[in-house]
Amino acid sequence: MRRLRPSFFARHSAVVAPDLLGKVLRVADCAGRITEVEAYGGADDAASHAFRGPTPRNAVMFGPPAQLYVYFTYGMHYCANVVTGPVGDGQAVLLRAVDPLSGIDVMSARRGGRKTHLADGPGKLCQAFGVDLNWNGRTTDGLLFDDGFVVDDVTVSARIGISKEVDRPWRWEVPPSK
């Protein structure tokens, strides 16, 4: 149950992302083991929100690492990222999926009573953990931990749902528990 320190996030997003697999996201009573992440770069990554420079929405990406970058998309979903790399770069890691560990009843209630597929997608993850725009810019200190889960069978592939840089292999996942 070791808290991830800010220095963990000071590295490049493509290094931090795979290192987050198996780590634990804990928000109040809810916790889950991270199973899928994607890395996003700054000015060198056309698929990143940071590609065209700072705007009101993506401002947090250009701030210090280890902060949450939460945005609203498709008119109905939130997505949660952790800012990484040097200040001003705009790098972040998108938290795409976790395996629920505790607080499952709360997650289920937030997810409309579903008992499966509670957090196996970036929008579902935010809904299950109650993450919305109020979380944008908050620190991740006290939210991310190393609980000693062994990471095995990591799969690397292209990022999902984007139309640029579609071949960049910046998505990492481990099998869900099932």
Partner DNA sequence: CAATCGATGATCT
Partner DNA sequence: GATCATCGATTGG
Binding residues for DNA, per CB under 7 A?
38, 40, 47-50, 52, 55-58, 61, 69, 72-77, 79, 81, 92, 94, 111-112, 114, 117, 121-125, 159-164
Residue pointed to by tokens 């810019």: 137
Considering beta carbons, is residue 7 or 116 the nearer one to DNA? 116
Nearest Cα neighbor of 63 from 30, 41, 93, 87 is 87
Q: From the CB of 74, what's the least distance to DNA, in Å?
A: 4
Considering beta carbons, is residue 148 or 161 the nearer one to DNA? 161
Q: From the CB of 158, what's the least distance to DNA, in Å?
A: 11
Distance, CA of 136 to CA of 67 (rounded, Å) = 8
Q: From the CB of 163, what's the least distance to DNA, in Å?
A: 4
Question: Could you tell me where the DSSP H helices lie in 116-177?
Answer: 122-129
Q: From the CB of 81, what's the least distance to DNA, in Å?
A: 5
Considering beta carbons, is residue 1 or 139 the nearer one to DNA? 139
Question: Could you tell me where the DSSP H helices lie in the chain?
Answer: 13-20, 104-110, 122-129
On whether the CB atoms of residues 121 and 96 are closer than 8 A, the answer is yes
Distance, CA of 81 to CA of 13 (rounded, Å) = 11
Considering beta carbons, is residue 103 or 127 the nearer one to DNA? 127
